[in-house]
Protein backbone atom coordinates (compact mmCIF):
# COMPACT_ATOMS: atom_id res chain seq x y z
CA UNK A 1 0.00 0.00 0.00
CA UNK A 2 1.41 3.40 -0.94
CA UNK A 3 1.74 6.16 1.63
CA UNK A 4 -1.21 8.13 0.12
CA UNK A 5 -3.33 4.96 0.26
CA UNK A 6 -2.33 4.43 3.88
CA UNK A 7 -3.25 8.03 4.66
CA UNK A 8 -6.70 7.54 3.11
CA UNK A 9 -7.21 4.30 5.02
CA UNK A 10 -6.18 5.86 8.33
CA UNK A 11 -8.54 8.80 7.74
CA UNK A 12 -11.45 6.50 6.86
CA UNK A 13 -10.92 4.32 9.90
CA UNK A 14 -10.52 7.24 12.31
CA UNK A 15 -13.74 8.75 10.98
CA UNK A 16 -15.54 5.39 11.29
CA UNK A 17 -14.30 5.13 14.90
CA UNK A 18 -15.59 8.63 15.65
CA UNK A 19 -12.14 10.06 16.41
CA UNK A 20 -11.48 13.69 15.45
CA UNK A 21 -8.07 14.16 13.82
CA UNK A 22 -5.79 16.45 11.87
CA UNK A 23 -2.96 15.55 9.50
CA UNK A 24 0.20 17.50 10.23
CA UNK A 25 3.98 17.23 9.92
CA UNK A 26 5.92 16.67 6.71
CA UNK A 27 2.93 15.37 4.75
CA UNK A 28 1.21 18.73 5.25
CA UNK A 29 4.34 20.85 4.80
CA UNK A 30 4.76 19.05 1.46
CA UNK A 31 1.19 20.02 0.47
CA UNK A 32 1.60 23.62 1.58
CA UNK A 33 5.23 24.14 0.62
CA UNK A 34 7.82 22.08 -1.22
CA UNK A 35 7.07 18.36 -1.69
CA UNK A 36 9.58 15.97 -0.16
CA UNK A 37 9.70 12.33 0.80
CA UNK A 38 8.81 11.47 4.37
CA UNK A 39 9.02 8.20 6.25
CA UNK A 40 5.95 8.65 8.40
CA UNK A 41 2.56 10.25 8.63
CA UNK A 42 1.84 12.53 11.60
CA UNK A 43 -1.73 12.69 12.88
CA UNK A 44 -3.07 14.64 15.86
CA UNK A 45 -6.03 12.83 17.43
CA UNK A 46 -8.61 14.06 19.93
CA UNK A 47 -9.63 11.17 22.14
CA UNK A 48 -12.53 12.04 24.38
CA UNK A 49 -13.42 8.60 25.70
CA UNK A 50 -11.72 6.54 28.42
CA UNK A 51 -8.26 5.30 27.44
CA UNK A 52 -9.19 1.60 27.47
CA UNK A 53 -12.22 2.13 25.20
CA UNK A 54 -10.29 4.35 22.78
CA UNK A 55 -7.37 1.92 22.65
CA UNK A 56 -9.74 -0.98 21.96
CA UNK A 57 -11.49 1.02 19.20
CA UNK A 58 -8.15 1.80 17.55
CA UNK A 59 -6.99 -1.81 17.81
CA UNK A 60 -10.24 -2.89 16.13
CA UNK A 61 -9.80 -0.25 13.41
CA UNK A 62 -6.25 -1.40 12.64
CA UNK A 63 -6.21 -5.20 13.10
CA UNK A 64 -3.39 -7.67 12.76
CA UNK A 65 -1.86 -9.10 10.63
CA UNK A 66 -1.90 -6.02 8.37
CA UNK A 67 -1.09 -3.58 11.17
CA UNK A 68 0.90 -3.53 14.37
CA UNK A 69 -0.62 -1.40 17.13
CA UNK A 70 0.33 -1.95 20.77
CA UNK A 71 -2.91 -1.47 22.71
CA UNK A 72 -1.06 -0.90 26.00
CA UNK A 73 1.10 1.78 24.36
CA UNK A 74 -2.07 3.47 23.11
CA UNK A 75 -3.56 3.49 26.63
CA UNK A 76 -0.31 4.89 28.06
CA UNK A 77 -0.13 7.59 25.38
CA UNK A 78 -3.72 8.63 26.02
CA UNK A 79 -3.11 8.85 29.77
CA UNK A 80 0.09 10.89 29.28
CA UNK A 81 -1.20 12.91 26.31
CA UNK A 82 1.81 11.63 24.40
CA UNK A 83 2.13 9.67 21.19
CA UNK A 84 1.92 6.14 19.84
CA UNK A 85 2.72 4.45 16.54
CA UNK A 86 0.88 2.36 14.01
CA UNK A 87 2.94 0.21 11.63
CA UNK A 88 1.69 -0.98 8.26
CA UNK A 89 3.30 -4.42 8.48
CA UNK A 90 3.09 -5.07 4.74
CA UNK A 91 5.01 -1.95 3.64
CA UNK A 92 6.72 -0.91 6.85
CA UNK A 93 5.22 2.60 6.79
CA UNK A 94 4.60 4.27 10.13
CA UNK A 95 1.88 6.56 11.41
CA UNK A 96 2.70 8.67 14.47
CA UNK A 97 -0.45 9.53 16.43
CA UNK A 98 -0.03 12.58 18.68
CA UNK A 99 -2.67 13.09 21.36
CA UNK A 100 -4.31 16.50 21.41
CA UNK A 101 -3.21 18.19 24.63
CA UNK A 102 -4.55 21.09 26.68
CA UNK A 103 -1.62 23.26 25.55
CA UNK A 104 -3.15 26.52 24.21
CA UNK A 105 -1.18 26.36 20.95
CA UNK A 106 -2.09 22.71 20.44
CA UNK A 107 -5.77 23.58 20.95
CA UNK A 108 -5.55 26.63 18.68
CA UNK A 109 -4.03 24.78 15.76
CA UNK A 110 -6.51 21.91 16.10
CA UNK A 111 -9.48 24.30 16.14
CA UNK A 112 -8.09 26.11 13.06
CA UNK A 113 -7.71 22.98 10.93
CA UNK A 114 -9.26 23.02 7.47
CA UNK A 115 -9.96 20.47 4.74
CA UNK A 116 -7.32 20.07 2.03
CA UNK A 117 -7.70 17.93 -1.12
CA UNK A 118 -4.99 15.31 -1.62
CA UNK A 119 -4.84 12.27 -3.92
CA UNK A 120 -8.59 12.17 -4.70
CA UNK A 121 -9.49 12.57 -1.04
CA UNK A 122 -9.90 15.35 1.49
CA UNK A 123 -8.28 15.56 4.90
CA UNK A 124 -8.40 17.97 7.83
CA UNK A 125 -4.92 19.52 8.03
CA UNK A 126 -3.14 22.19 10.04
CA UNK A 127 -3.21 25.73 8.63
CA UNK A 128 0.01 26.97 6.99
CA UNK A 129 0.80 29.32 9.90
CA UNK A 130 0.55 26.43 12.35
CA UNK A 131 2.62 24.20 10.09
CA UNK A 132 5.37 26.84 10.02
CA UNK A 133 5.26 27.32 13.78
CA UNK A 134 5.40 23.57 14.48
CA UNK A 135 8.30 23.15 12.07
CA UNK A 136 10.18 25.91 13.91
CA UNK A 137 9.29 24.34 17.25
CA UNK A 138 10.60 20.96 16.07
CA UNK A 139 13.73 22.54 14.61
CA UNK A 140 14.42 24.05 18.04
CA UNK A 141 13.68 20.77 19.89
CA UNK A 142 15.98 18.86 17.56
CA UNK A 143 18.88 21.23 18.14
CA UNK A 144 18.48 23.35 15.03
CA UNK A 145 17.27 20.74 12.54
CA UNK A 146 17.89 22.14 9.07
CA UNK A 147 15.26 19.87 7.52
CA UNK A 148 12.52 21.16 9.84
CA UNK A 149 13.60 24.78 9.29
CA UNK A 150 13.62 24.37 5.49
CA UNK A 151 10.15 22.78 5.58
CA UNK A 152 8.86 25.85 7.45
CA UNK A 153 10.70 28.19 5.08
CA UNK A 154 9.19 26.54 1.99
CA UNK A 155 5.67 26.76 3.43
CA UNK A 156 6.28 30.44 4.17
CA UNK A 157 7.52 31.07 0.62
CA UNK A 158 4.64 29.27 -1.11
CA UNK A 159 1.92 30.65 1.19
CA UNK A 160 3.35 34.20 1.36
CA UNK A 161 0.69 36.87 0.95
CA UNK A 162 -2.00 34.56 2.35
CA UNK A 163 -0.49 34.11 5.82
CA UNK A 164 -1.83 35.72 8.98
CA UNK A 165 1.44 37.43 9.97
CA UNK A 166 0.03 38.74 13.26
CA UNK A 167 -0.93 35.19 14.25
CA UNK A 168 2.60 34.02 13.37
CA UNK A 169 4.16 36.81 15.46
CA UNK A 170 1.92 36.21 18.47
CA UNK A 171 2.50 32.47 18.65
CA UNK A 172 6.20 32.69 17.73
CA UNK A 173 6.68 34.87 20.82
CA UNK A 174 4.68 32.46 22.99
CA UNK A 175 6.55 29.41 21.66
CA UNK A 176 9.99 31.03 21.86
CA UNK A 177 10.69 30.82 18.11
CA UNK A 178 10.65 34.53 17.25
CA UNK A 179 14.29 34.50 16.12
CA UNK A 180 13.67 31.50 13.88
CA UNK A 181 10.61 33.17 12.34
CA UNK A 182 12.66 36.32 11.75
CA UNK A 183 15.29 34.13 10.07
CA UNK A 184 12.61 32.61 7.80
CA UNK A 185 11.42 36.06 6.78
CA UNK A 186 15.00 37.10 6.01
CA UNK A 187 15.76 33.95 3.97
CA UNK A 188 12.43 33.68 2.15
CA UNK A 189 12.08 34.15 -1.58
CA UNK A 190 8.28 34.29 -1.83
CA UNK A 191 6.67 32.52 -4.75
CA UNK A 192 4.16 34.94 -6.24
Q: What is the chain's alpha carbon radius of gyration, rounded to the nearest angstrom?
A: 17
Q: Which pairs with CB-CB distance under 8 Å and at least 24 residues apart come from 8-15? A: 8/119, 8/121, 10/41, 10/43, 10/86, 10/95, 11/121, 11/123, 13/61, 13/62, 14/43, 14/45, 14/61
pLDDT for 149 equals 93
pLDDT for 43 equals 97
CB 152 within 8 A of CB 185: no
pLDDT for 169 equals 98
pLDDT for 188 equals 93
For each successive 10 residues of the chain (192 residues), what is the average pLDDT? 88 92 94 86 89 89 94 92 94 93 96 91 95 94 82 96 97 97 95 76
Q: Which pairs with CB-CB distance under 8 Å and at least 24 residues apart come from 145-154? A: 149/180, 149/183, 149/184, 150/34, 151/26, 151/29, 151/33, 151/34, 151/36, 152/29, 152/33, 152/180, 152/184, 153/33, 153/184, 153/187, 153/188, 154/29, 154/33, 154/34
pLDDT for 114 equals 96
pLDDT for 189 equals 93
Residue 24 CA to residue 125 CA, distance in Å, equals: 6
Amino acid sequence: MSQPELLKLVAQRLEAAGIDYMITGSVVSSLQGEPRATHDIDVVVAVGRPAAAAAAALKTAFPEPDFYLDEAAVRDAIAARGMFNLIDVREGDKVDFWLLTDDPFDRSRFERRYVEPFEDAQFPVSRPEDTILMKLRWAQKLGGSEKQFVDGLRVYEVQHGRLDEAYLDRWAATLGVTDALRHIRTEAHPIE
